[in-house]
Amino acid sequence: MEIIAGLIATIAIVALGYATRQGRSLSFYSSVLIVIALGYVLFAAMAGTPRKIGIESAIAAGFIVIAVAAARWGTVRTAGWLMAAGLTAHGVYDLVHSSVVTNPVVPAWWPLFCGVVDILLGGWVLVLLRRDRLMAPPAE
């Protein structure tokens, strides 16, 4: 069920991107990665353990750095690969999360659900990149 829900959520995220005319934008997927990365920080805050909050915040910071770097990178090709790698890496992190940080507040279904979403979105970014459809953020 988590896999089906993850597939539906991925389709909804991509559709939302296109509905808001951001479906091909690196900035959109950068924002998605930032929000995804903060999920486990929220679960850690719900658990109320400062140590877990610190660990999850440090891990989230790494994904946020990847998201920002990809959104600001000079070439779309390199940025696209970085974004796809960041999303996919977070999906892998989801799948191994319980062996890195134990947190009873994380729902049992969450890691597989979120892992599916992340890995599919990473794949989608690669599809956009391969089809030359990925757009860089507007210059300042």
**pLDDT class of 30 with cuts at 50, 70, 90:** very high
The 10s digit of each residue's pLDDT in 98-116 is 998 989 999 999 999 999 9
> What would you measure as the largest C-alpha separation in the chain, in angstroms?
45
80 is a domain residue: yes
Cβ atoms of 32 and 13 closer than 8 Å: yes
33 is a domain residue: yes
Percent of the chain with pLDDT strictly greater than 70 = 97
Beta bridge partners of 135: 25
50 is a domain residue: yes
Q: What percentage of the chain's residues is helix, strand, coil (to nearest 5)?
A: 80, 0, 20
Enclosing domain of residue 75: 2-130
136 is a domain residue: no
> For the chain, what's the residue count?
140
Number of domains in the chain: 1
139 is a domain residue: no
42 is a domain residue: yes
The confidence score (pLDDT) of residue 135 equals: 87
Residue 100: both structure tokens together: 């890195």
CB neighbour class for 36 (10 Å; exposed up to 12, middle 13-18, buried from 19): buried
135 is a domain residue: no
